[in-house]
Structures are given as structure tokens and as C-alpha cells.
């Protein structure tokens, strides 16, 4: 008779263990487990609205009025596709480091990626911090994870030349994979090309990835806008450091603008 309660207890503990196994059985794609996206429970297909892809840069993203209260609902009216042209300058912008500026232009020429696009990615990824390390292990100016760095020939991930070259090679790879579609290439840079392929060559319905694409596209278009230089206010590098406030991808970033440094060059600042 004493064995009956023990059997009941054993069955109860087994049920709890099975429940925990199911609850923890999510898969993640290129995200750390603390801020990862549950692939097994994607958002509804209507969360991502695809627009006809044409190579224009004049249209920006729109969002609902209550997007700040519901960041997952700010998404995502896809703009017309930004052009992935190959340029030879940063259009008057600087990272604040002339060596890094030159490395961006050199890598852009070698890989056929617009240097303004590489600059936009770098500003979002690291705000030009050569020693930046993310919670999920991405490193350096272009925030390469070690596996991606190795894929594209990077042996010293914190070396600015290698890090920028690795990021440029990866963007070239993604642009080729997605037929020059900049938004899909950016989504792949953030979430991994596998995630973009898994969702039928569309931007995955991950809030972080969609906000990432929106932000970099906004930066790219701002840097190509002639009015950005005309309206830029003057700040010193010390003032830039004081006002720069990177916003986590889990939140909607409202402000990114161009400022003019004392030497006349431009720089992006986010708040």
C-alpha cells in the first residue's frame, strides 16, 4: 500500500518534466537565446507586406500612430527598393576616423557594394566602435559573428581592415543571393540568409530584423539626401559622443540625423 503514493508522485514529476521539455523546445536563427525569436511560433503572414521592387530611393518607411506603444505593429510597409550602386566616396560623411573611412571605400570598390551602405550598416551595428562586442558575440565595426568572419576569410576579427572587408564580402554574397535586393540582403545580415530563405525570400517576421532593415534603409536614404548636408547642425566630436544614444532593436528608433563636424564633414547620430 505504501508504494501507491510513490507511483502517483513519479507520474506527477514525469508530467512536469515533459511540459518543461516542450516549453523550452524553441529553435533560434542567428539570435542569442535571451533576445531570440521563436521560429516555431512565427507572426501571422500579414505582418510583412511586400511591395513591388523597383530601384528607387525616394520613398521612406511609414508606421502607425500607435507604433511606440506597440513596437511589433510599426511594421512594416516595405519601401521601394534602395539601389545597391557602387560608389567611390562616403558622400561627405565620416566615421570620425579617416583610416576607417578609407577602408570602407577600399572594401566597397573590391566588392562592388556602395560605401554609403556599408557606412549605414556600421553606424547601426557598432556606432564606429572598433572593439564593440554584442551580447550574442558579434564583434568589431561590422559586428561579425566568429562563424561568419571565418566564412569570409577574417582571421583577426578586431582588425578594422579585416572586419570591414569581411562585412563587405558578406553583403556582396547576400546581394548576389537575393538578386540585388538590398532589404533582403540586410535582413540576411541581421538574421542569417537561412531565415530569409525559410520565409520564401521575404523579410522574416521578426521584430528585431524588420526594425534593423528599416533603420539602415533610413540611414542610407538620409545620407543620399542633399538636404541632409544643408540642414546639418554643427557639433564637435565630444558633443557627438554626448548626444549619441543607440537604441536597442527591440524599440522603435525615432531620430537619426546628420551633424556637421568642425572640419566640415558629416556624421550620423542616433537618439
The three-state DSSP-derived secondary structure of the chain is CCHHHHHHHHHHHHHHHHHHHHHCCCCCCCCCCCCCCCCCCCCCHHHCECCCCCCCCCCCCCCCCCCCCCHHHCCCECCCCCCCCCCCCCCCECCCCHHHHHHHHHHHHHHCCCHHHHHHHHHHHHCCCCCCECCCCCECCCCECHHHHHHCCCCCCCCHHHHHHHHHHHHHHHHHHCCCCHHHHHHHHHHCHHHHHHCCCCCCCCHHHHHHHHHHHHHHHHHHCHHHHHHCEECCHHHHHHHCCCCCCCCCCCCEEEEECCCCCEEEEEC
* CA 107 – CA 55 distance, rounded (Å): 23
Question: Cis bond leading into 96, ω under 30°?
Answer: no
Q: Is 165 a catalytic residue?
A: no
| Bridge partner residues of 63 (DSSP) | none
| Bridge partner residues of 170 (DSSP) | none
- Of 125, 165, 183, 211, catalytic: 125
Q: Which residues are catalytic?
A: 125
Amino acid at each position: 500500500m505504501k508504494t501507491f503514493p510513490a507511483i502517483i508522485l513519479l507520474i506527477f514529476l514525469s508530467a512536469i518534466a515533459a511540459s518543461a521539455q516542450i516549453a523550452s523546445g524553441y529553435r533560434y536563427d542567428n539570435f542569442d537565446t535571451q533576445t531570440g525569436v521563436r521560429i516555431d511560433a512565427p507572426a501571422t503572414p500579414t505582418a510583412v507586406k511586400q511591395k513591388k521592387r523597383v530601384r528607387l530611393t525616394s520613398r521612406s518607411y511609414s508606421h502607425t500612430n500607435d507604433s511606440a506603444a506597440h513596437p511589433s505593429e510599426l511594421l512594416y510597409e516595405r519601401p521601394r527598393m534602395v539601389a545597391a550602386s557602387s560608389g567611390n566616396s562616403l558622400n561627405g560623411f565620416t566615421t570620425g576616423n579617416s583610416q576607417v573611412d578609407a577602408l570602407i571605400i577600399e572594401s566597397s570598390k573590391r566588392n562592388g557594394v556602395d560605401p554609403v551602405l556599408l557606412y549605414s550598416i556600421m553606424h547601426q551595428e557598432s556606432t564606429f566602435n572598433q572593439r564593440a562586442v554584442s551580447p550574442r558575440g558579434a564583434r568589431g565595426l561590422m559586428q561579425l559573428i566568429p562563424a561568419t568572419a571565418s566564412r569570409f576569410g577574417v582571421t583577426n576579427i578586431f582588425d578594422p581592415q579585416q572586419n570591414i572587408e569581411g562585412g563587405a564580402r558578406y553583403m556582396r554574397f547576400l546581394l548576389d543571393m537575393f538578386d540585388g535586393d538590398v532589404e533582403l540582403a540586410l535582413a540576411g545580415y541581421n538574421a542569417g540568409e537561412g531565415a530569409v530563405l525559410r520565409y520564401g525570400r521575404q523579410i522574416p517576421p521578426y521584430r528585431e530584423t524588420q526594425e534593423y532593415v528599416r533603420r539602415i534603409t533610413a540611414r542610407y536614404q538620409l545620407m543620399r539626401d542633399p538636404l541632409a548636408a544643408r540642414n546639418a547642425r554643427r557639433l564637435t566630436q565630444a558633443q557627438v559622443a554626448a548626444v549619441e544614444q543607440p537604441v536597442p532593436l527591440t524599440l522603435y528608433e525615432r531620430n537619426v540625423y546628420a551633424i556637421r563636424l568642425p572640419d566640415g564633414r558629416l556624421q550620423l547620430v542616433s537618439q
